[in-house]
């Protein structure tokens, strides 16, 4: 076997290890018209190294894309039947634990907390007000309400500051229920509304403590009807909870 073919075979087997020493000897590869044995032997080593780097990059990009798809697929779907609290908790047992924890900490009943979530977001973790349009131009949303509890930015920041929970999310059910418990407890302390009175609690939650004090809600027929719906749902949830298995 010719010497240069023998050298090429050796370097093919040990391409990565010999690449740097060989490449120094082949520094004239682009200056000489006649390829040296070492220069020819360097080709497999160089190609292996390029293939390894390219493959690693492609693999990294593929894994990154798969990760993004996995994160997108991790969104929690709304319950199949939001009118049955038993079925809701059967589908998502952790929500029951979260609601019980919020009740234990703040005193607001589980059925009231869950009725608020159902009404505010219908259990959609990324719920937010619709964006109005002028012709084809999207306009700003009417509020910053977001997540399960539809907490707005200012009061959410108050909650984080008061509870030292800077890394909590409005898309998380546990955090949203704790927020609801905290705010309804504040309503109870400042306005004297019972935590077992879903209608008045909801009116104060919707209008804010200052807005409830102003009494403007008394003239808002749609809001009063919505509060009645929440009241009925909370009481229905309460009855259902007594029979959940």
> Is pLDDT of 228 > 90?
yes
Q: Name the residue with tokens 């930015």.
A: 153
- Give residue 28's pLDDT band: very low, low, confident or very high (50, 70, 90): very low
Q: Tokens 């999207």 map to which residue?
A: 138
Residues 6+ apart with CB under 8 A from 52: 16
pLDDT at 25: 44
| Residue 177 confidence (pLDDT) above 90 | yes
Residue 54's pLDDT is what?
Answer: 61
Measuring CA to CA, which residue among 179, 183, 176 is closest to residue 202?
Answer: 183
- Confidence (pLDDT) at 220: 97
Average pLDDT (32-51) is 46
Output the pLDDT for position 58: 61
Please compute the mean of the pLDDT values over residues 69-80 and round it to a whole number: 71
Looking at the whole model, is its pTM more than 0.85?
no
Inter-residue contact 50 to 76 (CB < 8 Å): no
The rounded distance, in Å, linking the Cα atoms of 28 and 177 is 71
Per CATH, which fold does 85-241 belong to? Lysozyme (1.10.530)
By the 10 Å C-beta count (0-12 exposed, 13-18 middle, 19+ buried), 222 is classed as exposed
Span 166-186, average pLDDT: 95
32: exposed, middle or buried (Cβ count in 10 Å: 0-12, 13-18, 19+)? exposed
CA-wise closest residue to 89 among 118, 120, 127:
118
pLDDT given for residue 144 in this prediction: 84
In this model, does residue 66 exceed pLDDT 50?
no
């Amino acid at each position: 076997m010719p010497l240069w073919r023998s050298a090429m075979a050796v370097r093919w087997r040990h391409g990565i290890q010999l690449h740097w020493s060989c490449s120094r000897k082949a520094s004239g590869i682009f200056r000489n018209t006649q390829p040296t044995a070492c220069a020819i032997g360097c080709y497999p080593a160089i190609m292996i190294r390029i293939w390894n780097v390219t493959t690693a990059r492609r693999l990294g990009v593929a894994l990154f894309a798969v990760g993004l798809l996995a994160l997108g697929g991790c969104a929690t779907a709304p319950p199949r039947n939001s009118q049955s609290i038993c079925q809701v908790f059967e589908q998502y047992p952790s929500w029951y634990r979260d609601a019980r924890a919020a009740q234990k900490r703040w005193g607001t009943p589980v059925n009231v907390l869950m009725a608020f979530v159902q009404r505010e977001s219908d259990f959609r973790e990324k719920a937010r007000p619709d964006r109005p349009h002028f012709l084809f131009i999207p306009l700003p949303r009417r509020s910053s309400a977001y997540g399960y509890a539809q907490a707005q930015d200012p009061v959410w920041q108050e909650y984080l500051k008061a509870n030292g929970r800077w890394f909590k999310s409005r898309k998380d059910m546990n955090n949203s229920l704790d927020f609801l418990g905290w705010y309804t407890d504040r309503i109870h302390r400042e306005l004297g509304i019972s935590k077992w009175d879903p209608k008045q609690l909801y009116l104060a939650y919707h209008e804010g403590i200052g807005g409830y004090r102003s009494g403007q809600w008394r003239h808002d027929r749609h809001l009063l009807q919505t509060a009645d719906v929440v009241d009925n749902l909370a009481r229905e949830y309460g009855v259902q909870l007594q029979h959940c298995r």
